[in-house]
Chain A
Amino acid sequence: MRQKESQRHRIRSLHIPMHAVLVAISVVMVFPFVWMLLTSLKTVTESTRMNPFSFFPQVSQWVNYATVWQQNNFFQLYLNTFAMVILRVVCALLFSAMAAYAFARLHFPGKGFFFGLVLVQMMVPTQVFVIPQYLMIDGMGLRNTVFALVFPGLVSAFGTFLLRQFFMGLPRELEESARLDGCNIGQTFVRVMLPLTHSGLTALAVFTALFAFKDLMWPLVVNTNTDAATLSSALSKIGSSYSVNYPNLMAASVLAVVPMLLLYMVFQRQFIEGIATSGGKL
C-alpha cells in the first residue's frame, strides 16, 4: 500500500517537468498564429522594426483588414469556398452512404469487381487524376465555376470505404426486423440503418470539409480567375502581390484561417473524434 502511494507520488512529481515540456510545445503550436494576428494589426514600418517594444502594435491597424478585404474581394472568396465545401460534403455523404450500405449488406453480381474500383481509387495519388479532370472541365467550358471546384469531390471512394466499415459493424437483427415489418431495402436503409451510423457520417463530413478547405492545387489549376478562386488558392496570388507588406499578408491569412478555426473551436470533439475514427476504421 505504502509502496503504491510512493509510486503514485513519484509519478505525480514527474508531472511537473512533463507539464513544462507540454506547455513549451503548446507555445510552439500556437505562437505562429499569435504572431500572424499581431503582425496583421501593425503598420509596415512597425512590422519591420525589431525591438521588444514593437512586439505589440502601438495602435491596432484594423484598416489592414478593410484594405485586404476590398482589394481581393474576400466576400466572393468566402462564398466560393463555402459553396465548394458544403457541396462536396453533401455529395460525399449522400453517394458514399448509399454505395457503402450496398457493399456492406446486399448481395449482387459484380460486387467484388466494383469494390475493387473503390480500392484502386484509394491507392492512386490524386495528382494522377488532375490533368484528365482539368481537360474534362475545360472541354465542358466550365472553368471558373463552383461546379469545377466541386468536380473531383462529386463521389468519394474514401467515404464509401469508411462508411462500409460502419455498416458492417451494425447488428443484422435490426434490418431483419425492419424487413419483416414490411420495409423495402430503401426504407430499411434510410429509416433504420442510416441513423445508426451518425458517428461515421460526422467523421466523413469533418474529414471531407477539412480537406476540401485545405485543397490548393485543384482550385489553382481550374479556377484561374480571381473571382472564382477559393481562400487557399487566392492566398497564393496575394502572397506574391503583397511581397513586402507583411501586415496585409497576415491580415489575408487571418481571414483565410478564421472560418475553419472557428468551426474547430465549436465542434472540437467532433473534429478530433472524426479524425480519430476515420483513421481507426481504415
Chain B
Amino acid sequence: MRLNLGAASAARERVSAAKRNEWYWAWGMIAPTIIGLVVLNIVPIFQTMYMSFFKSGAFGKGNTFIGLENYRRLLADAQVLYATRNTLIYMVCVVLITTVLALLLAVALGGRIKGKGTYRTIYFIPMVATPAAVTLIWRWLYNYRFGLLNHMLSSLGITPVDWIDNPNAAMLSIAMVGIWSTVGYSMVLLIAGLQEIPRDYYEAAQIDGAKPVRQFLHITLPLVSPTLFFVLVTSVIAAMQVFDIVYMMIGVTSPSYDATVSLVYLFYNNSFKYSNKGYGSAIIMILLAMILLITAVQQRLQKKWVNYM
C-alpha cells in the first residue's frame, strides 16, 4: 500500500516534471516574439494614445499636456474632414472595382483556357514593383504636357486632362493606380479559393443544363464566398491605410492636395513634416477607430454571409 502510494507520487512528480519541462520550452520559444511584440507594438499602442493628449514641440521636446484639445482641434480641422472623406472614397472605389475585376479574371482563368498560367503571372507583375516606382511611372503617363495619356487623348480630338493637379481628376488618377497594382493580388487569392470547389458540382449542373451564368451565381459565388469575404476585408483594411501613391503623386502644395490627402498622409505630415507628434497621434486614432469598427462588423457579418462547406 505504502509502496503503491510512493510509486503514484513519484509518477505524479515525473508527470509534473515533464509538464514543467514543456512549459520552459514553450516560454523560451515564444519569448523573442512576445518581448518584441510588447516593446514594438503593444506598449506603442498606449504610448500613441497617451501622446494624443499632448502638444509636442519641435524635435519632440517640450511636450505639454493639453487634455482633449487635439481631439477638439480634429473636429474643427477641415483637412481632417477631407482626409477622412478621401480615404473612404478611395477605399470604396478601389475595393469595389478591384474585387469585381479580380473575381471575373479568376473565373476566366480558373477554367480550361489556354495560357492561364501566363496571364496569371502577368497580372501579378504590378504587385512586385515598389509603389514608389509605380507611382513615378504613372506620374509620367499622367503628365499634363508630355504624358502619353494626354497625347493619346489629343490625337483622338479630346481635350487633355490635368490628371494630377486638377482636384476633380486627381482622386480618380490615384484610384486607377491603386486598382492597377492590387488586382493581381486579389485575383491570385480568389483563384486559390476557386480551386477548392469540387469539379463534380459543375458537371452535375451541366447535366442539368445550367448555363454558365447560373453556374456562376449558384455554385461559384456561394462556394467562393469565404475567400471573397477575406479578400474584401483585407482590401478594405489595406485601402484605408493608403499612403505611398498619394504621397508620391501629390505634393503638399498641389491644388489637388485637399481633394486627395489620405488620413495616413495627413498623419505623416503632422507627425514628421510639422513635428507635432501629439496631433499626429490624435489623427491616427481616427484610423485605428475606423479599422477596429470594420473588424467588429466583419466578425458579425461573417457568420451571416459566408457559406462554409
Chain A residues within CB distance 8 Å of chain B: 7, 15, 18-19, 21-22, 25-26, 28-30, 32-33, 35-36, 39, 47-48, 50, 95-96, 98-99, 101-103, 106-111, 114, 117-118, 120-121, 123-136, 138, 151-152, 154-157, 160, 184-186, 189, 210, 213-214, 216-217, 221, 231-233, 235-236, 239-240, 246, 249-250, 252-253, 256-257, 260-261, 263-264, 268, 271-272, 275-277, 279-280, 282
- The answer to whether A272 and B121 touch across the interface, beta carbons within 8 angstroms, is yes
Residues of B within 8 Å of A108, CB to CB, are: 22-23, 26-27
Residues of B within 8 Å of A32, CB to CB, are: 126, 134, 137-138, 141, 180
Q: Is the interface of A mostly helix, strand, loop or mixed?
A: helix
19 sample A-B contacts, Cβ–Cβ < 8 Å, listed by A number: A22-B119, A25-B105, A25-B123, A39-B140, A102-B25, A123-B291, A125-B240, A135-B47, A154-B40, A210-B127, A214-B131, A216-B132, A217-B243, A231-B132, A246-B143, A261-B125, A268-B121, A277-B192, A279-B188
Residue of B with least CB distance to A253: B133
Q: How far is the CA of A66 from the CA of B42 in the complex (A)?
A: 45
Asked if B241 is an interface residue, CB under 8 A from chain A, the answer is yes
- The answer to whether A106 and B22 touch across the interface, beta carbons within 8 angstroms, is yes
Asked if B288 is an interface residue, CB under 8 A from chain A, the answer is yes
Chain B residues within CB distance 8 Å of chain A: 19, 21-23, 25-27, 29-30, 32-34, 36-45, 47-48, 51, 60, 105, 108-109, 113-115, 119-134, 136-141, 143, 145-146, 148, 151, 180, 184-185, 188-189, 191-193, 206, 227, 230-231, 234, 237, 240-241, 243-244, 247-248, 251, 264, 267-268, 271-272, 277, 280-281, 284, 287-288, 291-292, 295
Residue of B26, B125, B131, B141 touching A35 (CB-CB under 8 A):
B141
Residue of A106, A123, A272 touching B120 (CB-CB under 8 A):
A272
Residues of B within 8 Å of A231, CB to CB, are: 130, 132-133
- The answer to whether A185 and B21 touch across the interface, beta carbons within 8 angstroms, is yes
Residue of A117, A125, A127, A261 touching B129 (CB-CB under 8 A):
A261
Residue of A22, A106, A118 touching B37 (CB-CB under 8 A):
A118
Residues of B within 8 Å of A127, CB to CB, are: 241, 243, 264, 267, 284, 287
> Beyond the given A239-B132, A272-B188, could you list 18 further A-B residue pairs with CB under 8 A, ordered by the A residue number?
A25-B123, A26-B122, A35-B141, A99-B29, A107-B19, A118-B37, A124-B288, A126-B241, A154-B36, A155-B40, A157-B33, A189-B29, A216-B131, A221-B268, A256-B132, A264-B124, A275-B124, A276-B191
Q: How far is the CA of A258 from the CA of B39 in the complex (A)?
A: 35
- The answer to whether B123 and A210 touch across the interface, beta carbons within 8 angstroms, is no
Residue of B32, B44, B125 touching A95 (CB-CB under 8 A):
B32
Residue of A95, A117, A214 touching B42 (CB-CB under 8 A):
A117
Residue of A with least CB distance to B59: A138
Q: How far is the CA of A189 from the CA of B264 in the complex (A)?
A: 41
Could you tell me the distance in whole angstroms from the C-beta of B261 to the nearest C-beta in chain A? 14
Given contacts A246-B146, A275-B188, A277-B192, contact A99 B33 (CB under 8 A): yes
Could you tell me the distance in whole angstroms from the C-beta of A242 to the nearest C-beta in chain B? 10
- The answer to whether B136 and A121 touch across the interface, beta carbons within 8 angstroms, is no
Could you tell me the distance in whole angstroms from the C-beta of A194 to the nearest C-beta in chain B? 12
- The answer to whether B237 and A125 touch across the interface, beta carbons within 8 angstroms, is yes
Residues of A within 8 Å of B109, CB to CB, are: 22
Q: How far is the CA of A118 from the CA of B170 in the complex (A)?
A: 38
Q: How far is the CA of A51 from the CA of B137 in the complex (A)?
A: 20
- The answer to whether A185 and B25 touch across the interface, beta carbons within 8 angstroms, is yes
Given contacts A39-B140, A125-B240, A221-B272, contact A236 B132 (CB under 8 A): yes
Could you tell me the distance in whole angstroms from the C-beta of B35 to the nearest C-beta in chain A? 8
Residue of B41, B120, B193 touching A157 (CB-CB under 8 A):
B41
- The answer to whether A232 and B131 touch across the interface, beta carbons within 8 angstroms, is yes
Q: How far is the CA of A21 from the CA of B108 in the complex (A)?
A: 10
Residues of B within 8 Å of A35, CB to CB, are: 137, 140-141, 148
Could you tell me the distance in whole angstroms from the C-beta of A254 to the nearest C-beta in chain B? 8
Residue of B with least CB distance to A256: B133
Residues of A within 8 Å of B43, CB to CB, are: 132
Q: How far is the CA of A99 from the CA of B37 in the complex (A)?
A: 12
Residue of B with least CB distance to A106: B26
Q: How far is the CA of A50 from the CA of B144 in the complex (A)?
A: 13
- The answer to whether A131 and B51 touch across the interface, beta carbons within 8 angstroms, is yes
- The answer to whether A123 and B292 touch across the interface, beta carbons within 8 angstroms, is yes
- The answer to whether A239 and B264 touch across the interface, beta carbons within 8 angstroms, is no
Residues of A within 8 Å of B47, CB to CB, are: 131-132, 135
Could you tell me the distance in whole angstroms from the C-beta of A68 to the nearest C-beta in chain B? 12
Q: How far is the CA of A133 from the CA of B131 in the complex (A)?
A: 23
Residues of B within 8 Å of A106, CB to CB, are: 22, 25-26, 29
Residues of A within 8 Å of B243, CB to CB, are: 127, 216-217
- The answer to whether B288 and A125 touch across the interface, beta carbons within 8 angstroms, is yes
Residues of B within 8 Å of A95, CB to CB, are: 32-33, 36
Residues of A within 8 Å of B140, CB to CB, are: 35-36, 39, 246, 249-250
Q: How far is the CA of A257 from the CA of B108 in the complex (A)?
A: 29
Residue of A with least CB distance to B264: A127
Q: How far is the CA of A182 from the CA of B141 in the complex (A)?
A: 65
- The answer to whether A103 and B30 touch across the interface, beta carbons within 8 angstroms, is yes
Residue of A with least CB distance to B21: A185
Given contacts A124-B41, A214-B130, contact A186 B206 (CB under 8 A): no
Could you tell me the distance in whole angstroms from the C-beta of A159 to the nearest C-beta in chain B? 9
Could you tell me the distance in whole angstroms from the C-beta of A232 to the nearest C-beta in chain B? 4
Residue of B with least CB distance to A130: B271
